[in-house]
């Protein structure tokens, strides 16, 4: 389906180049998906995405599917990208730069996100105008003995979280009692002797020390310490603690903006079902603060039809006439014969 659409658009572009000069007002450029330019824009999108979402895990760029640069006279160029992301094991509050975060492997029910981004290249630099994402897990239901995700309200999973946090609270070197901030994931695995449960959850420091037996209230986010715990048993819990929310990402040398998080609970009265699937965290489905409508299907299509390429050589590069493409270079799907050279999509960085 998607391939069909790509070819149609390309067809229009090629026709456009034949009729060059008719409508020279909108230029379109299709740089290779693995070009440094595409990479630069995609990484800006990645950082924005991770600074934007306030729950769950950081996402890392896996593949650039498409990139298109649209230029109009007297306006900033806009970049339209289709990007694939993979979930890492770093919580969004973890200040570790995403480039250093391990990618969650497929066997642990990796979460993938397909996102469309529109960025604008103004004199101030690149900025995200709008994006939308579709988040999915790869279910491996057929695999006996593989870890399976459980819904966030699973009684045994919740008991594991409660007991392991209790244990950690009595026994941590920070002399602090932590409260549950959100559940990252819960799962079980059938091993000899029955199901074995595991859980990942984020915690936040409270005003109680380990000894206090008082009402404990979470600290203000801006000053609280946070952590991410991995529990595989009520006395088998490992929590990585990180400092207050404000963090500097050395890779991009920008202060990562971390927003108020308490609305992002995965349970309780503040639970927001639109951002949480039953078993994993979803990304923002549509972010378009200035209502550009740039990501709606209709406007994209109508934009394509009026497009006439600014620089025809670039369009020509996209077309590999009749010559069968060398298989070794092809990272694209083998489902259909391809007319386009393997300039897009780009290489998969992970899997």
Ligand X SMILES: *[C@@H]1O[C@H](CO)[C@@H](O)[C@H](O)[C@H]1NC(C)=O
Chain positions contacting ligand X, by CB under 6 A: 37, 40-41, 121, 126, 151, 153, 155, 167, 170-171, 207-208, 212, 214-217, 220, 222, 253
| Least separation in angstroms between CB 217 and ligand X | 4
**Quick one: DSSP state of residue 288?**
-
> Which among 122, 29, 30 has a CA at the least distance from the CA of 74?
122
Residue 214 CB, shortest distance to ligand X, in Å, is 4
Give CA–CA dist 236/245, Å, rounded: 27
- Comparing CB distances to ligand X, the nearer of 134 and 170 is 170
CA-CA distance, 47 to 321, in Å (whole number)? Answer: 38
* Tokens describing residue 306: 């009026």
Minimum separation from the CB atom of position 122 to ligand X (A): 8
Of residues 170 and 347, the one with the C-beta less far from ligand X = 170
The angle at the Cα of 340, spanning 338 to 345, to the nearest 5 degrees, equals 95
109: left (phi over 0), alpha (psi -120 to 50) or beta: left
DSSP E strand boundaries for the chain: 27-29, 57-71, 77-91, 111-122, 125-137, 148-150, 178-191, 194-205, 226-233, 236-242, 247-249, 254-256, 286-287
In the complex, minimum distance from the CB of residue 167 to ligand X, in angstroms, rounded to a whole number: 6
> Please, which residue, 210 or 312, has the CB nearer to ligand X?
210
Calpha distance 30→12 (Å, rounded): 14
Q: In angstroms, what is the minimal distance from the CB of 118 to ligand X?
A: 14
35 or 52: whose CB is closer to ligand X? 35
Q: Which is nearer to ligand X, 86 or 181 (CB)?
A: 181
Q: Which is nearer to ligand X, 40 or 329 (CB)?
A: 40
CB of 211 to ligand X, least distance (A): 9
Question: Cβ closer to ligand X: 171 or 270?
Answer: 171
Minimum gap (Å) between residue 153 Cβ and ligand X: 4
Rounded Cα distance, 198 and 236, in Å: 10
Tokens of 3: 């391939």
Q: Which residues contact 85 (CB under 8 A, 6 or more apart)?
A: 46, 49, 59, 60, 61, 62, 112, 113, 114, 115, 133, 283
């Amino acid at each position: 389906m998607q391939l069909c659409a790509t070819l149609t658009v390309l067809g229009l572009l090629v026709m456009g180049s034949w009729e060059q000069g008719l409508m020279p007002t909108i230029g379109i450029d299709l740089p290779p998906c693995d070009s440094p330019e595409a990479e630069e824009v995609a990484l800006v999108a990645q950082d924005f995405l991770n600074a934007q979402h306030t729950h769950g895990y950081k996402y890392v760029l896996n593949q650039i599917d498409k990139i298109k640069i649209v230029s109009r006279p007297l306006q900033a160029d806009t970049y339209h990208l289709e990007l694939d992301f993979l979930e890492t094991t770093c919580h969004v509050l973890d200040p570790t730069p995403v480039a250093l975060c391990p990618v969650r492997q497929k066997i642990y029910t990796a979460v993938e996100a397909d996102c469309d981004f529109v960025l604008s290249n103004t004199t101030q630099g690149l900025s995200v105008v709008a994006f939308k994402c579709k988040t999915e897990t790869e279910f491996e239901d057929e695999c006996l003995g593989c870890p399976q995700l459980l819904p966030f309200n699973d009684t045994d999973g919740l008991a594991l979280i409660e007991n392991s946090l209790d244990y950690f609270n009595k026994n941590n070197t920070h002399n602090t009692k932590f409260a549950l901030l959100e559940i990252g994931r819960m799962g079980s695995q059938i091993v000899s002797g029955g199901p074995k449960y595991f859980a990942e959850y984020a915690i936040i420091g409270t005003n109680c020390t380990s000894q206090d037996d008082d009402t404990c209230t979470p600290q203000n986010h801006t000053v609280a310490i946070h952590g991410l715990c991995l529990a595989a048993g009520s006395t088998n819990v490992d929590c990585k603690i990180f400092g207050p929310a404000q963090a500097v990402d050395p890779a991009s040398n920008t202060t990562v903006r971390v927003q108020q998080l308490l609305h992002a609970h995965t349970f309780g009265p503040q639970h927001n079902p639109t951002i949480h699937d039953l078993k994993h965290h979803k990304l923002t489905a549509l972010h378009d603060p200035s209502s550009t409508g740039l990501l709606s299907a209709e406007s994209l299509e109508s934009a394509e039809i009026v497009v006439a390429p600014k620089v025809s050589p670039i369009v020509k590069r996209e077309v590999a006439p009749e010559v069968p493409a060398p298989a070794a270079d092809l990272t694209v799907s083998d489902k259909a014969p391809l007319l386009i050279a393997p300039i897009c999509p780009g290489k998969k960085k992970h899997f």
